[in-house]
């Protein structure tokens, strides 16, 4: 459907609305905001909009980011366009008309105030049809445990950018696995790797957001 192709392109390239100057080659054209309203007015279901425009657009963004074809500013613009569209779909999520794939709880571990990596992962996962609960930065273990109680069956993502906060990540993973052994835990961040993941008992490590998306999508496929 042509209108969904246009919306996909708006999100992929970060065209938020008609007034947005970015990207320059789409200046003056309708953006994600207008196209989403037009699609809904034309009777296209919110589920179709999500499945056939937003999810494939954010997948493309995630893959291009992984391959260093685009960088953080472009990802942020795409996420902004995605959220502009999502604002019109949110009522359908809350009414249960649109189904989420699942719930993903994410936070930067205690002692660490870095959030760019966490935010990128959040945005790409949300764009792939998941409900994201972002606990923020400097998140204590108790806060993760509370979120797991509140959202049964959720998947948890832990981020760290400092080597000094890796022990906190380890302590959080161990505590989660002790009290909720079936909870899937992903880790990411500059100082961590797959050896560290294995050592602390987490389920998955990805060096980039798209790897995390691919992994959790497989869990619900």
pLDDT tens, residue by residue, 189-201: 999 999 999 999 9
- Averaged pLDDT for residues 202-221: 96
Locate all alpha helices (DSSP H) within the chain, ordered by sequence: 2-13, 32-41, 46-49, 55-66, 72-95, 116-127, 141-150, 166-179, 194-200, 209-220
Distance CA 6, CA 19 (A): 16
Residues 6+ positions from 177 with CB-CB distance below 8 Å: 183, 185, 201
pLDDT of residue 1: 65
Could you tell me the domains of the chain? 2-95 (1.10.1240.10), 103-220 (3.40.50.280)
pTM summary value: 0.91
Q: Which long-range contacts (CB under 8 A, 24 or more apart) does 185-188 make?
A: 185/155, 185/156, 185/157, 185/158, 186/155, 186/156, 186/157, 186/158, 186/212, 186/215, 186/216, 187/157, 187/158, 187/159, 187/160, 188/117, 188/121, 188/157, 188/158, 188/159, 188/212
- pLDDT score recorded for residue 201: 98
């Amino acid at each position: 459907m042509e209108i969904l192709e246009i919306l996909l392109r708006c999100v992929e390239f970060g065209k938020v609305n008609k007034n947005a100057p970015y990207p320059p080659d789409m200046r003056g054209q309708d953006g994600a905001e207008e196209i989403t309203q037009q699609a809904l007015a034309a009777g296209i279901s919110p589920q179709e909009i999500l499945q056939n425009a937003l999810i494939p657009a954010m997948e493309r963004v995630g893959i291009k980011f992984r391959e260093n074809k685009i960088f953080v500013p472009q990802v942020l613009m795409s996420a902004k366009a995605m959220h502009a569209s999502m604002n019109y779909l949110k009522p359908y999520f809350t009414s249960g008309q649109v189904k989420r794939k699942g719930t993903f709880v994410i936070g930067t571990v205690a002692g660490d105030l870095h959030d760019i990596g966490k935010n990128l992962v959040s945005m790409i996962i949300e764009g792939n049809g998941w409900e994201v609960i972002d606990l923020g930065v400097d998140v204590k273990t108790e806060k993760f445990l509370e979120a797991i109680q509140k959202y049964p069956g959720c998947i948890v993502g832990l981020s760290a950018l400092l080597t000094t906060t890796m022990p906190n990540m380890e302590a959080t993973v161990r505590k989660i696995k002790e009290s909720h052994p079936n909870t899937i835990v992903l880790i990411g961040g500059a100082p961590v790797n797959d050896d560290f993941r294995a050592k602390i008992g987490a389920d998955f490590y990805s060096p980039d957001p798209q790897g995390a998306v691919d992994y959790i999508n497989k869990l619900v496929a």
